[in-house]
Homo-oligomer: A and B are copies of this chain.
Amino acid sequence: MNQDAHSLTLAEIATRLGAELRGNGAQRVNGLATLRDAGPEHITFLANRAYLKDLADTRAAAVLLHSSHAQSCPVASLTLANPYLGYAELSRLFDPLANRESAGVHPSAVVAEDARLGEGVSVGPQAVIESGVVLGDGVIVGPGCVVGADTRIGADSRLHANVTLYHGVIIGARAILHSGCVIGGDGFGFAHDGKGWHKIAQLGGVVLGDDVEVGSCSSIDRGALGDTLIGDDVKIDSQVQIAHNVQIGEHSALAGCVGIAGSTRVGRHCMLGGGVGLSGHLTICDGVQVTGMSLVTNSIHEPGIYSSGTGAMDNAQWRRNAVRFKQLDDIARRLSRLEKAERGA
């Protein structure tokens, strides 16, 4: 990847990050790299003690780190209370996708006459904007995207290539929607007449708050009657399935391959590990973490860490039992021996 789109002085970076600079503020860097890989044209960072061993040998122009490590830094340093947060901001300074000028509406795009496009909107090649759509200022719609009728997208949101939004979806500001994701497809609703299935038309919508990110190939289904609701600052990874009428509280994060069944409500500040499954019609309170590939079949009313092989339980309890599960055949044989000894006694 070419990360050299532009260069910044260390003084500029320190100002943007609110960091304290020690070193030559006029020195320019044109990219960001790890402690090990960084060269003299790069800035790097130390946010995890595990990499402290690499600090002395770095060839970077400067290191962003905590003040407690500044003494050990062999090159220019920028100190911050939370260097990982600083790394996040630094990464965005060198993001080649940021601050692109609007490319306008590509001539190959098909935009309905009554669609309303804000200032600085970009619509990529082969994209389709259906009737009644409203795109806020600075929205970027990538190549091949389809934005269904009456859908509204808030300012500065970005749809990467080949995103699909159905009709009547509402997206907040500053959303990032990755390629292949689908928002607003029908929820999985059918009535059975004893012989076969009758479709329940999915008449609700999907509402995403502000600052939501949705990963590649993820799907968020529209509600059956009310809406599927994704709160502000919710981060959703790739290959995630969110069923109809699910609600996700603000600031929650869902890792890859999570699946949430219909009408389940997830609280605020929750974190679901990769591949976690939540059954339908559950209530998960605020502050719950579920470890990877756990199945949750009951509501959770206490914040904490939950895990399962066979059904969710407290993480510490799970660890003890999982060790014993590996001894289960031995346990059973020992029990049989004891029973025989008892019968013999």
Residues of A within 8 A of B (CB): 1-3, 31-34, 37, 82, 84-85, 87-89, 91-92, 94-98, 106, 108, 110, 124-128, 130, 142-144, 146, 148, 150, 160-162, 164, 166-168, 176, 178-182, 185-186, 188-193, 195-205, 211, 213, 215-219, 221-222, 224-227, 233, 235, 237-239, 241, 243, 250-251, 253, 255-257, 259, 261, 274-275, 277, 279, 292-293, 295, 297, 308-311, 313, 317-318, 320-329, 331-332, 334-335, 338-339, 341-342
Q: Which residues of B contact A313 (CB under 8 A)?
A: 326
Contact A203 B95 (CB under 8 A): yes
Counting chain B CB atoms within 10 Å of each CB, the highest count among A97, A148, A295, A310 belongs to: A310
CA A193 to CA B88, docked complex, whole Å? 10
Known: A1-B205, A150-B2, A188-B237. A324 touches B334 (CB 8 A): no
Copies of this chain present: 3
Q: Is the interface of A mostly helix, strand, loop or mixed?
A: loop
Residue in B closest to A91 when the chains form the complex, CB atoms? B201
CB pair B185 A182 closer than 8 Å: no
Cα–Cα distance between A179 and B89 once the two chains are bound (Å): 35
Known: A1-B222, A95-B203, A188-B255. 19 other contacts (CB 8 A): A88-B199, A144-B146, A162-B164, A162-B182, A176-B186, A178-B185, A188-B215, A188-B237, A190-B235, A197-B233, A215-B221, A219-B238, A241-B274, A275-B277, A277-B292, A292-B297, A309-B310, A310-B322, A335-B335
Cβ of A238 and Cβ of B241 under 8 Å apart? yes
The one of B160, B239, B318 in contact with A241, judged by C-beta atoms closer than 8 angstroms, is: B239
Report if A92-B196 is in contact (Cβ < 8 Å); known contacts: A143-B146, A188-B235, A256-B241.
no
In the bound complex, residues from chain B placing their C-beta under 8 Å from that of A166 are 160-161, 179
Pair A179/B178 contact, Cβ less than 8 Å: no
